Every structure is written in C-alpha cells, then in structure tokens.
Chain A
Amino acid sequence: MSNGFAKDQEFLLPASTGFIAFSLFIAVMLNWLPWNGWALALRPDFVALVLLYWCTHKPHRIGIGIAWLVGIFADVADASLFGQHALAYSVLAFGGIVLHRRVQMFDLRQQSFHVFPLLLLSYATYAAVHWQVRGFVAWEYFLGAGVSALLWTPMTLLLQALRRPRRDPNEL
C-alpha cells in the first residue's frame, strides 16, 4: 500500500476494456460449473459480484445495459425464463451505480455490508419472478446472497491486485 496507491486512489486504478470483459467471462464460467445439491444452494453468484464490482468502481464503463446483456446469456444457459436473470442483474447494476460514491468511502469490510443488501435485492427479484410464474420459492436460494457478500472482500482484493500496474524491474 506504500507504493503511492492510497486507499482513496484504489478506485482510480486503470481498467482496460479487455480486462473487464475477461473478468466477466471468468465469472460466467464459474457460474456455469456443474454445481450440485447443497453446493448449488450455497453457490455464490460470481457474475453478480463482478458486475457489482465494476458498477461501483467504473460506473461509466459498465452499466445497466451490459448487466442486462449478461443476464440474457445467463437465462439461456440456465434455461430460466428470458429476462429473469436480466431483470435481477439490471436492478443490481442500478443499485451499484447509485451507491458507488457511498461505497467508495468505506473500507472493504464495511463495503461488504453495503453489498449484501444489493445482492439480496437482486436475489429477491429473481425469486419474485419465479414465485409469480411458478408459485413457490425455495428459501435456501437466499443463502447464496450471504455467501456472495462474504466473497466481496477476497474478490475485490484479487481484482485490485490484477489492475495495479506492474513495476518496471529495471526501475530503481
């Protein structure tokens, strides 16, 4: 942390479009791994986390439109109704964009407490659509929101570390 990137500058780290796309791609792949049983109930939504990360850190690069598009692909992969994930991710991205200045003021642990309600809202949107169409809700589904919020800190640290420019080894 002593290398000139103080806490308030973490948000100003550069992010190339390629890196954003790559991180989203990895998150989608993680979501598509064959989860089963309890692991499925506890599965964090990696896509939601990464989307939220970019919405809070680069709100002018990643917005509701991209979240919606990712959601459509998630709908096809999960064979859920068209627009179900898209709606949930749009709501999530909106929450991230509205709260991005506020989230920036806190440290990582406090950020998780801001992220958790947003994730819960997105999960609730998904479950509400399901409840309207199918008529029931599996409550263990919401455990995933908690696990995702717990993963916020490690994921942010990882992405920040990857975004930090490497030092030139020849430099003094």
Chain B
Amino acid sequence: MDDTRTLRFFNRGPSPVVRLIFFCVLSLLLLFVDSRYRYLESSRKVLAVMIYPFQRLTALPGEAVGSVTVYFETQERLLTENEQLRQQHDTDAAQLSQLQAILAENAQLRVLMDLKERVDYPMQMAEIVYVERDIFKRKLFVNKGSQANVMPGQVVVDDFGVVGQVTRTYPWLSEVTLVTDKDHSVPIQNQRSGLRAVVFGSGDINEMALRYMPVSADIVEGDVLVTSGIDGTYPPNLPVAKVTRVERDPAYPFARITCEPLAGVDRHRALMIVSGLPQLPELPEVAVESTAEQERARKRFKRRKP
C-alpha cells in the first residue's frame, strides 16, 4: 500500500543525484549554446507557437477588465474629454497649417539644394500583448510578428519618441527590448548643440545614462536627445530622452549624466513599428579592417587582464 516503503527493493531507474547531474549538465549546455550562439532560435520558435494559445488565454482576464472599465466610463467624463480633445484639435489644426507651409518650403529648398528627399518611413501599428514577466529585463511583446513582415532590428516608436527595438520575432508575436533595458544603447545627437553620443539603458524604467561624456561636454539639464541616424538602424531625429541631471565632478574623467526616456515606455498600449529604412552604402573595407584590428586589440587587452 505504501509506495515509499518499496523503494529499495525495486529498480526505479537512476538515483536522484545522477538525474540531477544529468539535467544540470543539460541545462548548462543549453545555457551556453543559447547565450553564445544562435542555433536554438528555430526550436524556440516551434515551442513558442505551441504555447501561444495558452498565453493568449492568460491575457484574457486583463483584457476583459479593461473592456468592462471602458464600458462603465461615465458620460460626464467622456464629455469633458471630448471638450478637451476638441480644443486640442483646434490648436493642432492651427499648428498643422503652419507645418504644412513649412514642409512645402522645405521640400522646395531641398530640391533647390539638390539633396535627396527624406523618405517617409512606412510604419505599422502594433499592440502590446504582454509585458515581460521577468523582473530582470525590460521587454515587452507586441501582436505583430514575422507574418506581418516584422524583422529583428526594427525600431519601435510611440507618439513621443523611441520605445525600443524588435529583438526577436515569432510568427504572430515579436519581442521588443525597451530603450531602458540594461543591454540596450541608442546612438543619439543633442538637439540643441548637435553633440553626438550614445545613450544606454539603466534597467530602471524611467532612467537612462549618457556615459563616457567628458566633463566639459556641452550638455545641460533639459536638453532633448534625438536619434542621430548614423548607424542606419534608427531613423534620424526621433526623440529618445531628456537630460534630467548632470553631475560634473572633476575627480572623474567623465560626467555623470542621467536622462529620462521621452516615450511612454510603460504607458501605452498601441505602438508603431518602423520598417523599410533606407539602405546605407556599404562600410568601406578599410573601416572594417580597423574594427577587426580593434577587436583583436580588445582581445589582447582582455587576455592581459588577470
């Protein structure tokens, strides 16, 4: 009757220790392969498709609560909101007419200056399906995937600025790494002074850091940082962050600059995925060699370190 008592007399396969070692080694092997190489992406995709319906199921309660609250919103609130929106619309319309005049003028000037006309990037709307369930990471999932021609590397924006970048795609989902993710960096330009730099995520939801800027760098609080468009990954002139604090301590070679992302990284539900960036001309051979050289130098340096 008691199955625990019969343990020693019957063969029940390898002992727990052997099993533990086997599965630990297997996990570590997978970890190593997954973090170093990209061999496992296809199997991950297959599994992701298998669990997709269940994931949708778990998102349902939240969606139901959302639709119920929308249903019970009072008429009064809707009226005031409508009023506000109408006012906003009037001011926007006035600004838009100005903008159109400026656009026309700009187009004419560009033609005159024989410059390439700036392309209007095709965008597609996507909705956030879930936010990351892992506290370590700043990621979210949106409801457009490789079926909608979303590709890794594409930039995700909202109406205020850059939200992040698509890092992995599944057939109906794609994973977006937010600009505030610890491992994420964006090449930017200071809108006021034109200074170029790279802004890094801090892992904190409303903080980013501008590292390796000399103490004398021309950056003040309130500066808006926009994408520079230099690497061809990000389209130029999208707002990224606003400088919130600058600490200049002459004891350190670099200034401590803290920024706050402009996009509502944790606020919105609808986002835009920018696709079809213009192809930049190939990087010339010499530059490639020099990066290879740098890589070798870096490795040498690494080896020399204890």
Tell me the bound Cα distance from A75 to B131 in angstroms.
15
Q: 18 additional contacts, CB 8 Å, given A68-B26, A82-B30?
A: A32-B55, A35-B133, A76-B48, A78-B133, A79-B132, A81-B30, A81-B35, A82-B31, A82-B44, A83-B26, A83-B28, A84-B31, A86-B27, A86-B30, A87-B28, A87-B31, A90-B20, A134-B136
- Asked if B33 CB lies within 8 Å of chain A CBs, one says yes
Closest Cβ of chain B to A42, distance in Å, is 10
- Asked if B284 CB lies within 8 Å of chain A CBs, one says no
The residue in A11, A81, A101 that gathers the most chain B C-beta atoms within 10 A of its C-beta is A81
- Asked if A64 CB lies within 8 Å of chain B CBs, one says yes
Q: Are A94 and B182 interface neighbours, CB within 8 A?
A: no
Contact with B along A54-70 (1 / 0, CB 8 A): 00000110011101100
Of the candidates A40, A90, A97, which one forms a contact with B23 in the assembled complex, judged by CB atoms under 8 Å apart? A90
Tell me the bound Cα distance from A29 to B58 in angstroms.
6
Q: Are A90 and B24 interface neighbours, CB within 8 A?
A: yes
Tell me the bound Cα distance from A9 to B179 in angstroms.
55
Chain B residues 53-87 with CB under 8 Å of chain A are 54-55, 57-59, 61-62
Smallest Cβ-Cβ distance to A137: which chain B residue: B136
B-side interface residues toward A, CB under 8 Å? 1-4, 7, 12, 16-17, 19-20, 23-24, 26-31, 33-35, 40, 44, 47-48, 51, 54-55, 57-59, 61-62, 130-137, 139, 168, 175, 182-183, 203
Contacts of B139 in A (CB 8 A): 79
10 sampled A-B residue pairs with Cβ under 8 A: A60-B12, A76-B44, A76-B47, A77-B133, A84-B31, A86-B26, A134-B136, A134-B183, A136-B203, A140-B135
Q: A33-B61, A65-B19 are in contact. Are A141 and B135 (CB under 8 A)?
A: yes
Smallest Cβ-Cβ distance to B47: which chain A residue: A76
Smallest Cβ-Cβ distance to A64: which chain B residue: B19
Q: Are B51 and A76 interface neighbours, CB within 8 A?
A: yes
The residue in B30, B40, B131 that gathers the most chain A C-beta atoms within 10 A of its C-beta is B30
